[in-house]
Amino acid sequence: MRLTCPLCGPRDRREFYYYGAEDYLHRPAPDAPIEAWDDHLHLRTNLAGVIKDLWYHEGGCASWLLVTRNTITHEVLSVERVADRKGASA
């Protein structure tokens, strides 16, 4: 498996660390109900198909990456830097 880092180019999977589902980017408000926090921290949909998850390029440029990939075909559809997303804080 290879991921194409937006900065470093195509790199081997061993350079990356898997963090978890994209859900971690959608943090509930501090005063959100406990169910929302429970959902945020623990509940994941176990999708077969296109999923988005977070990877860390620890062996390269040290960017957090949002990877869209297909768990059925193993296709990697897109890789973008979390910091470069629209509305992301610098």
- 33, 83, 85, 88: residue in contact with other proteins (rule CB under 8 A): 83
Residue 63 within binding range of other proteins, rule CB under 8 A: yes
- 22, 59, 70, 76: residue in contact with other proteins (rule CB under 8 A): 59
Residue 3 within binding range of other proteins, rule CB under 8 A: no
Size of the site for other proteins (CB under 8 A): 16
Question: How many Å apart are CA 26 and CA 43, to the nearest integer?
Answer: 13
DSSP string, 28-88: PPTTS-HHHHHHHHH-----SSEEEEEEE-TTTT--EEEEEEETTT--EEEEEEGGGSTT-
Residue 58 within binding range of other proteins, rule CB under 8 A: yes
